[in-house]
Amino acid sequence: MVTILLILAIGLVVGGVGAMMGIGGGILLIPILTAFLGVPIKTAIGTSIVCVIATSCAAGAVYVGRGMTHNRLAMILEVATTAGALAGGVTAVLISPRLLALLFACILIYVAFIMHRLPKEERPPVRTGALDTSYIDPRTGGRVTYGIRRLGMGMGASFLAGNVSGLLGIGGGIIKVPIMNLMMGVPLRAAIATSNFMIGITAATSGIIYYMSGFVSPKLAIPTALGVLAGAQIGTRVGGRIRSQRLRQIFQLLLLAFATMMLVQAWMK
């Protein structure tokens, strides 16, 4: 019972942070489960997949309701990401996971650095004529209209991100948000909402595979899912009230934290 409550609480926190930042939280959950609760890695990944899906659905219901998710962009990028993840299985033979984790950590640090160098206020989003969309900013109540830039480059980067996430067994939200925000000109809030949608689709595919292989343990997955479902509701609401600038700072911290985890992982392997 104590363990169940503990896992429920962990799910609450991971779901909250994940929903707020557009990431699945697998990279938070997997180390906690394996290191502190002694869960085998495959079962930990199975649990984390359920966590990612729960975050995506619960946060998605709020973000889609607010009109903040760019459904069409998500679908286009999802083609590249899933194809990348599929190709990841082929590339896995060629690159050592250790080198990959190292490279990935460098990319994350680089992205954090770029975000740090950006001007304090987000550049006002503009229409570009490609995939123009708009949403109501929950904090200011104003309408934000924006279009997509560099779609081709974004798709290329999404392919690589899918590739890396397929190889390292992570959802990849941490890399999807910067691609959309920094490369494609999507405002941070919309990038978070859209990333939230995409990670759910990718995770659902592996979710079914893991379920059929018996790596989804109800003992762990049920409390996590219930915690996440509640946590994500809180996360989306808190995230809506935070200023974009502060949101960006939190994201930078997450990037650095993940980079450190990746480096530790590369070191230990």
43-102 residues near other proteins, rule: CB under 8 A = 49-50, 53-54, 56-58, 60-61, 64-72, 75-76, 78-79, 82-83, 85-86, 89
The binding track of 213-232 with respect to other proteins, each residue x by CB under 8 A or -, is: -x-xxxx-xxx-xx--x---
Distance from C-alpha of 21 to C-alpha of 3, rounded to nearest angstrom = 27
Closest approach, Cβ 20 to other proteins, in A, equals 18
DSSP class of 19: H
Closest approach, Cβ 86 to other proteins, in A, equals 5
**Per-residue buried b or exposed e for 23-56, using 16+ beta carbons within 10 Å of the residue's own CB:** bbbbbbbbebbeeeeebeeebbbbbbbbbbbbbb
Distance from C-alpha of 161 to C-alpha of 179, rounded to nearest angstrom = 9
Footprint of other proteins on 5-44 (CB under 8 A):
none
Residue of 191, 168, 217 lying closest to 26 (CA atoms): 168
Which of these ranges, 10-18, 95-103, 207-215, 261-269, lies near other proteins under the rule CB under 8 A?
207-215
Distance from C-alpha of 190 to C-alpha of 178, rounded to nearest angstrom = 11
- Which bin fits 214, alpha (ψ -120 to 50), beta or left (φ > 0)? left
For the record, the structure tokens of 5 come out as: 């409550």
Closest approach, Cβ 132 to other proteins, in A, equals 5
Q: Find out whether 235 and 15 touch, Cβ atoms under 8 Å.
A: yes
Which of these ranges, 12-20, 29-37, 122-130, 235-243, lies near other proteins under the rule CB under 8 A?
122-130
Query: By C-beta, is 20 or 203 nearer to other proteins?
Result: 203
Is residue 133 a contact point for other proteins (CB under 8 A)? yes
Query: By C-beta, is 153 or 253 nearer to other proteins?
Result: 153
Residue corresponding to tokens 């946590």: 231
Residue of 195, 205, 131, 119 lying closest to 157 (CA atoms): 195
Query: By C-beta, is 201 or 257 nearer to other proteins?
Result: 201
Footprint of other proteins on 158-197 (CB under 8 A):
185, 197
CB count, 10 Å around CB of 240?
A: 17
Closest approach, Cβ 202 to other proteins, in A, equals 8
Query: By C-beta, is 223 or 262 nearer to other proteins?
Result: 223
Query: By C-beta, is 145 or 260 nearer to other proteins?
Result: 145
Identify the three-state secondary structure at position 54: helix
Query: By C-beta, is 3 or 260 nearer to other proteins?
Result: 3
